[in-house]
Structure 1
Amino acid sequence: MHFLKRFLPLIVFAFIISCKSKADKDVTFTIVQLNDVYEISPIQGNKYGGMARVETVHKELLKENPNTMLVLAGDFLNPSLLGTIKVNGERVRGKQMVEVMNAMNFELVAFGNHEFDLSYEHLQNRLNESKFEWICSNVYHNVNGENESFVKVVDGKTKHINQTFIKEFTVGSETIKVGFISVCIPSNPRSYVTYTDMFEEAKRTYEELKDKTDFVLGLTHVKVEDDIKIAEMLPNIPLIMGGHEHTNKYEKAGNSIISKADANAKTVYIHRFKYNTTTKKIDFNSELKTIDESIPADKEVGEVVSKWENILNTQIKEVIPNPNEIVFTTETPLDARDTQIRSVQTNMGEIVAAAMSKAYDDSVDCAFVNGGSIRIDDELLGDISAVDIFRVLPYGGPVLKVSLKGDLLEEVLNFGEKAAGTGAYLQMYNITKSNNQWLVQNKIIDKKKTYTIATSDYLLKGFDIPFLKPSNPKVVDVYTPTQEEEASDVRKSVITYLKSK
């Protein structure tokens, strides 16, 4: 007993020193995760999103911990309304997003499927302009049948885009290395792109990094079920930061967590890490941060955003006088997501088609539009402005009134139905199908009758449905509206329609 009393203080002291020593070995860092961001400005009546607001959060986190990095898990160059406009005779095609992200000091991004919406020339320009790192292990530049890595050309120097990334974090005398792997969903076939097996590449790049780093994280752009498969295949990855779904997710898969924020920076994930270099223990917690009007816009990034907003508003005002007017409010999400709009009838698709009919005072029998013309790849909720409708239909174009024979109409509808999964799938109004028969206004199509339909000028060019063009003898008549008519621009038609509801 006397022995214990004598040496207990020393034991306690040694224990405290040991705990302190272990604490001194902790390296902390923060990752701010975004994914699927197409708009630099706030959306839904200015209530949510906005990259200048994200930068305010970013700077606050840098004050909390200088070891803070900003990452984006794919899909940011397209689609967007700004990307479709021309500046100095050239389509913007994501230039505005790269400029804003450069101003925010993004550090790392993954390729998403929508990056390959761009032509090779436009994508190369965006790569060259970016000041951040890109990674992906299963996408290659197809050059005359040979797979090569994509490159970035800066000041005449060519730099290959890496398949992985290693980031060092230092606290005091302790430094750790964190590896990042990335794969992209092979859902956007392009002649200049080759996709290899995402699971094999994820495993290969993880094996390459695991002995070079303290641990490895994922930065992916695939379906959540694919993220789960990767997590189960690579159980030592603690966190996979993903994109593609557009709605926030935080799912446990084996030993891993899969996180996805909401699209268009309505939310961001903040991951705070602690790694002990002695015990090799990884701890992290994740906060889903809502980006809304309670967060002030960062001044510097806000100036870049404003520059592009002014360019956009000047062009929009050529069609409508008040771009920021709230034209409709909905408590039910209007579904304009790519997968849905190209495979099933959605409420947003029906609104567009109904507005086409209304543009001609419902004097037409029915209306349809190709799903591929609806480009926002998101759901609209709450206050919807005129600008939001331009984001839904960035290409605009007149609504045509077309007279055609019933058998051609039936052929068109069959083609659209079989095109599910592509942009040629049709969103319709006053058209249904029952017992394997097409109905217009609840009546079976009469193949010999002439029907009057409202549709887009794009569809009548035969791009999506090759036989639907004025030269087809079963197209009886085509009326093109004058500039003064509501039907002169489909976006004007939709805005008028929503305001009337």
Structure 2
Amino acid sequence: MKNKIILFLFIVIIAFTRCSSDNNKTNPQLDHNPKNLTIFCVNDVHGQIDNFAKVKYIVDEEKAKNDVIVVSAGDLFSGNPVVDNHPEKGFPMIDIMNRIGFDIAALGNHEFDYGTTNLKNRMNQSHFDWVCANVDMQNSGVPQPFEYKSIQTSQLKICFLGLIETNGKEDDVIPSTHPWRVQELQFERPEDVVSLYANVKAEENADLYICLSHLGFNGNDHVLGDSQLANKFPYFDMIIGGHSHDKINTVINNIPIFQSGSYLKYLGKIELVVKDKKIESINFNLIDLNKYSHFDAELKSVIETYNDQPYLTEVIGYSNRNHNSSQVGCFYTDALRSGLNVDVCFQNTGGIRSGLNEGDITKREIYEISPFNNGTVIYEMSVFDIKKFLRGSGSGFYYSGIKIKQDDQDVEIRDLQGKILSNDTVLSVGINDYIAAVHDTYFPQTGQIQDKTDAETIISFLENSTKAVDYPICDRYFRMQ
């Protein structure tokens, strides 16, 4: 009897072992060991390449001891003439990112500033992947980015979904770039597509699901920002954002959200411990690159070669004081009005990208103030039509050549001597063609297209002027309230 009991127990043990083995084959157990990962992130670099030699040093140092992923949350271009005016627009930026070893980048609105041909060339140049779930490149020739892409480290699989804002034009669905440069492309509002990717983490069997967002941090009832994304579409383990140039380190709806400022002044470092497909611990550190002293010597030499552009250091004028962007708005519109020889000039606030320092003015400074290579155009418009534009556009503008005041829900326009201009008075209006493209319903169908860009027009004005730039204040800004 004793032997029979022993034999029975032996059979039961064998059967249980086989059953357990079969279950493990069909339902593998999670690896419960915690795993470390570091993600370095930048956003809104806008062509600023000088600190990338420091970024490479930091990234390489971390790679020697840990798994590392390096990401961009969009807007690599527009802001540095070394990058923007290169014979192959944007080439230095992608070359440097390749040398650092970037893994993935979200498309930002300013990635489209150079037009589709240049974007195609820059994406083909990249050794890293691009993600954007709400763009269709159609027949433009631009490579279609991944909606989402998983990156496998030695221990973890991290999936990134890309999103871009589409608030560039009131009556269209495009990002905030020159509308004429995205005519071949089709965009969808991010809030209309995010739910399609709710189950990507499970489908990819990823350890983490991260949104690489170029939406900006704060949206509203009609515009999706990262904060609304976390509340309305809580599919993500983390959101790494851009577009609003913020320094963000917060948690909304249990989702960490990070953003690393702008212009490569900071490098975001996210240190993670991941366990059972969840973030067990997280630490975010903004590395102040302007205070960081170490750099990769080889990459620094490459950057110095790119920066060696003597034409950018040519002195073309003098500034009597430090001018902030508002004061530059007055200088810009005065210079453009004179250079185009028109009655009136307007400039959108977003087109003034830099201040103007006291002292000698170089070509570089003007290209930094106006980096988008926008064309210039002259229209003949009645005062009545100018008022319609100011009332209906919903935007704010610096201006030159007239005096503007809001009168209840109407606009009063006077000449520089203070005389009220009648509605049927016709004025010549000079603007950059971005304004004409975004607010096309308020401008005539045809205008006089000029040979020079806005920046080139201002440079020419300075080269032919002996007067120093001096704007203690700028009170020529109007936005309908």
CA contact (8 A) 2:148 2:161 kept: yes
Provide the residue aligned with 2:222 in structure 1. Answer: none
1:224-281 C-alpha deviation (Å, 9 max, x unpaired): 232222212343523200111012223321111221121111222111001134x955
Of the candidates 110, 116, 119, which is equivalent to residue 112 of structure 2?
116
In structure 2, C-alpha distance between the alignment counterparts of 1:469 and 1:115, rounded to whole Å? 27
Provide the residue aligned with 2:246 in structure 1. Answer: 247
CA distance 1:179–1:328, change in 2 (3 Å): farther
Provide the residue aligned with 1:52 in structure 2. Answer: 53
CA distance 1:169–1:450, change in 2 (3 Å): closer
User: CA shift at 1:391, angstroms?
Assistant: 1.1
Within the alignment, does 1:101 sit opposite 2:100 as a pair? no
Provide the residue aligned with 2:133 in structure 1. Answer: 137
Provide the residue aligned with 1:11 in structure 2. Answer: none
CA distance 1:397–1:491, change in 2 (3 Å): farther
Question: After the TM superposition, which residues 439-454 of structure 1 pair with which residues of structure 2 at under 5 Å, given as runs?
Answer: 439-441=414-416, 443-447=418-422
CA contact (8 A) 1:138 1:196 kept: yes
Within the alignment, does 1:261 sit opposite 2:260 as a pair? yes
Provide the residue aligned with 1:217 in structure 2. Answer: 210
Provide the residue aligned with 1:235 in structure 2. Answer: 234
CA contact (8 A) 2:133 2:193 kept: yes
Query: Secondary structure of 1:245's partner?
Result: coil
CA contact (8 A) 1:269 1:288 kept: yes
In structure 2, C-alpha distance between the alignment counterparts of 1:383 and 1:137, rounded to whole Å? 44
* Aligned residues: CA RMSD: 4.6
CA distance 1:470–1:121, change in 2 (3 Å): closer
1:40-60 C-alpha deviation (Å, 9 max, x unpaired): 345xxxxxxx32233233233
Within the alignment, does 1:371 sit opposite 2:371 as a pair? no
One-letter identity of the residue aligned with 1:52: A
User: CA shift at 1:447, angstroms?
Assistant: 4.0
User: CA shift at 1:185, angstroms?
Assistant: 1.1
In structure 1, C-alpha distance between the alignment counterparts of 2:260 and 2:331, rounded to whole Å? 28
Provide the residue aligned with 2:399 in structure 1. Answer: 428
Provide the residue aligned with 2:333 in structure 1. Answer: 353
CA distance 1:75–1:461, change in 2 (3 Å): closer
Question: After the TM superposition, which residues 16-165 of structure 1 pair with which residues of structure 2 at under 5 Å, given as runs?
Answer: 25-42=33-50, 50-63=51-64, 65-78=65-78, 80-85=80-85, 87=87, 92-143=88-139, 151=143, 161-165=145-149
Deviates more, 1:103-112 or 1:200-209: 200-209
In structure 2, C-alpha distance between the alignment counterparts of 1:220 and 1:395, rounded to whole Å? 23
Provide the residue aligned with 2:156 in structure 1. Answer: 176
Provide the residue aligned with 1:301 in structure 2. Answer: 299
CA contact (8 A) 1:368 1:426 kept: no
Query: Secondary structure of 2:138's partner?
Result: strand
CA distance 1:72–1:470, change in 2 (3 Å): closer
Query: Secondary structure of 2:153's partner?
Result: strand
Percentage identity across paired residues of the two chains:
17
CA distance 1:205–1:486, change in 2 (3 Å): closer
TM-score between both structures, scaled by the size of structure 1: 0.68
User: CA shift at 1:442, angstroms?
Assistant: 7.1
TM-score between both structures, scaled by the size of structure 2: 0.70
Provide the residue aligned with 2:365 in structure 1. Answer: 388
Deviates more, 1:254-263 or 1:449-458: 449-458
Provide the residue aligned with 1:339 in structure 2. Answer: none
Query: Secondary structure of 2:331's partner?
Result: helix
Query: Secondary structure of 2:386's partner?
Result: helix
User: CA shift at 1:440, angstroms?
Assistant: 3.4
Query: Secondary structure of 2:404's partner?
Result: strand
Query: Secondary structure of 1:352's partner?
Result: helix
Gaps of 5+ in 2: 1-29, 169-173, 175-181, 220-224, 474-481
CA distance 1:227–1:210, change in 2 (3 Å): farther
In structure 1, C-alpha distance between the alignment counterparts of 2:339 and 2:469, rounded to whole Å? 8
CA distance 1:29–1:261, change in 2 (3 Å): same
CA contact (8 A) 1:397 1:488 kept: no
In structure 2, C-alpha distance between the alignment counterparts of 1:116 and 1:110, rounded to whole Å? 12
1:347-400 C-alpha deviation (Å, 9 max, x unpaired): 44223224557999xxx997524338x746x45498897433321124789999
Question: After the TM superposition, which residues 255-334 of structure 1 pair with which residues of structure 2 at under 5 Å, given as runs?
Answer: 255-277=254-276, 280-310=278-308, 313-317=309-313, 320=315, 328-329=321-322, 334=324
In structure 1, C-alpha distance between the alignment counterparts of 2:432 and 2:192, rounded to whole Å? 44
In structure 1, C-alpha distance between the alignment counterparts of 2:433 and 2:156, rounded to whole Å? 55
CA contact (8 A) 2:382 2:423 kept: no
CA contact (8 A) 2:383 2:424 kept: no
In structure 2, C-alpha distance between the alignment counterparts of 1:447 and 1:26, rounded to whole Å? 74
CA contact (8 A) 1:74 1:221 kept: yes
One-letter identity of the residue aligned with 1:413: I
User: CA shift at 1:125, angstroms?
Assistant: 0.9
CA contact (8 A) 2:355 2:369 kept: no
1:58-106 C-alpha deviation (Å, 9 max, x unpaired): 233334x33122100011134543355363xxxx322221112112111
One-letter identity of the residue aligned with 2:202: K
CA distance 1:446–1:202, change in 2 (3 Å): closer
CA contact (8 A) 1:54 1:265 kept: no
One-letter identity of the residue aligned with 1:162: F
CA distance 1:257–1:431, change in 2 (3 Å): farther
CA contact (8 A) 2:43 2:72 kept: yes
Gaps of 5+ in 1: 1-21, 43-49, 152-159, 336-345, 472-477
CA contact (8 A) 2:214 2:242 kept: yes
